[in-house]
Chain A
């Protein structure tokens, strides 16, 4: 079986997580990446779910954050006030790991609405997204790479990154802001001075031209970008046999 783009994405996401970190994860690819990290180099990572869960070990694939499958074998069940209040708001969450409808060059996230041909369509809104993006020490976003999903400015600024290129201190936000955007074509980081997205690595068989043509914001490319490391044979086995055997999220 060929390596799927989603597998490259979650392996790249997993490598960003360090052992002993506390991570608030969203459903879907963030959660898959987090479990991959825990099965490899980060066995002592603490995953939290905004609904009030710590250290879940699901054995069946959940359909969402409200599915009892996701909080199987957890070590703590509490609520928003604990996970998002006394952890995120308290400032002890190292990484917030999110999905997005749109992300712009400053890492601002939209999960609220789309504007196409003048028509506004609403989606899920913030839920915990704004809280995670505002308060986690750093934020990683995983999303599909499409020009309209990576615009110059998001159609609705649901969750703040480096708004208007400002530092987080200037914005008076506690968390340090966006750290990575991981797509199915490449990995973006952020320039410390301009606070704008920069290309860090291209996935296997993806050209720079392809990324430039499919990115809606102006992209800084300083040197030949690296190639995103492929998932190892062991990572692929874990993903395909243990973490998402039915391909609910990776398929």
Chain B
């Protein structure tokens, strides 16, 4: 994480309480990387932590949720107090903007956003230069044109990668492929490092090939307390505990101190939340995937 410059645009690969890049968010907080721009389809715990720690200056998201555990309290509070620049898009528009970035297009048209206050606010706010109405040059049909999103660094948590960075993502993958390939640099966090022969036996399962990957970090349970399909379930007790802290502006700092800043690394954090005994309880049943 030392290679992440202050003020960088980072894209995070989590969705609500699934495959969040928690180990990354924690380390950015330990290293106090400030003034970040963060983009994400549907923000989850990873982004809520970064906002709660005061490291984010601009947020570009389609939505945010911790599913039934609650809303993204830190993000919502930051909006209510206007303490960061906020761009509120939709899941598909964020995905299309990453797709444009991944294809090397400077813009992309879409048929969502039209006639909504989502669009109105984007045009009036900090995204005025990123979105505008346009007509198809052939049919004359109305579209909304959006600029490409090209993050400085994308982080994606995957189930398995080989040492070179050939990655498998099991289960649904929301906007991960577009987000990964739109970035100038991609850092993958893998639950497991598998031999390249394993990748070669079923290369159709490779979602991101190694030549696009800048670095691979092997971090088992790197998404805890969020879920990684086929590996472990979300930690309901810890998510409930987090929400108790996060919903109060005067308590979130306590969570960050206790579980992040006072732990030296992710292994230390995993000890803190109950260690191997707790992680065993979360282990997925291979037949179910959770």
Tell me which of B69, B226, B290 has the highest count of chain A C-beta atoms within 10 A of its own C-beta.
B290
Shortest Cβ distance from residue A87 to the other chain B in the assembled complex, whole angstroms: 11
Q: Which residue of A lies closest to B229 (CB)?
A: A68
Q: A66-B67, A72-B289 are in contact. Are A174 and B118 (CB under 8 A)?
A: no
A64 touches B117 (CB 8 A): no
Contact mask for chain A residues 47-61; partner B; CB cutoff 8 A; 1 contact, 0 none: 001111100000010
Instruction: Indicate whether B171 reaches chain A with its CB closer than 8 angstroms.
Output: yes
B65 touches A64 (CB 8 A): yes
B17 touches A67 (CB 8 A): yes
Contact mask for chain B residues 85-97; partner A; CB cutoff 8 A; 1 contact, 0 none: 0001111110110
- Segment at the interface with B among A8-16, A120-128, A209-217, A238-246: A120-128
B92 touches A80 (CB 8 A): yes
Residues in chain A near residue B113, CB distance under 8 A: 130, 134
Residue of B42, B90, B95 touching A85 (CB-CB under 8 A): B95
B174 touches A79 (CB 8 A): yes
A50 touches B91 (CB 8 A): yes
B173 touches A79 (CB 8 A): yes
Instruction: Indicate whether B1 reaches chain A with its CB closer than 8 angstroms.
Output: no
Residues in chain A near residue B178, CB distance under 8 A: 79-81
Instruction: Indicate whether B176 reaches chain A with its CB closer than 8 angstroms.
Output: yes
Residues in chain B near residue A42, CB distance under 8 A: none
Q: How far is the CA of A163 from the CA of B176 in the complex (A)?
A: 33
Instruction: Indicate whether B234 reaches chain A with its CB closer than 8 angstroms.
Output: yes
Residues in chain A near residue B176, CB distance under 8 A: 79
B233 touches A158 (CB 8 A): no
Number of A-B contacts (CB under 8 A): 184
Instruction: Indicate whether B111 reaches chain A with its CB closer than 8 angstroms.
Output: yes
A88 touches B17 (CB 8 A): no
Number of contact residues on A: which range applies?
A: 35 or more
Residues in chain B near residue A72, CB distance under 8 A: 288-290
Q: A127-B63, A158-B116 are in contact. Are A64 and B16 (CB under 8 A)?
A: yes
B111 touches A134 (CB 8 A): yes
Shortest Cβ distance from residue B73 to the other chain A in the assembled complex, whole angstroms: 10
Q: Which residue of B lies closest to A89 (CB)?
A: B111
**Residues of A105-133 contacting chain B, CB below 8 A:** 112, 120-131
- Would you give 29 A-B contacts (Cβ < 8 Å), ordered by A? A60-B290, A63-B69, A66-B15, A66-B16, A66-B44, A67-B227, A67-B290, A68-B171, A68-B288, A72-B290, A79-B172, A79-B173, A80-B175, A80-B178, A81-B175, A81-B178, A85-B92, A89-B110, A125-B63, A126-B62, A126-B90, A127-B42, A127-B62, A127-B90, A131-B91, A135-B111, A158-B117, A160-B116, A172-B115
4 new A-B contacts at CB < 8 Å, known A129-B90, A131-B92 = A66-B227, A122-B76, A127-B64, A171-B115
Binding site for B on A (CB under 8 A): 27, 49-53, 60, 63-69, 71-72, 77-81, 84-85, 88-89, 112, 120-131, 134-135, 156-160, 163, 171-174
Q: Which 7 A-B pairs rank lowest in CB-CB distance, beginning with the nearest?
A: A64-B67, A127-B63, A68-B290, A66-B18, A66-B16, A52-B172, A125-B63
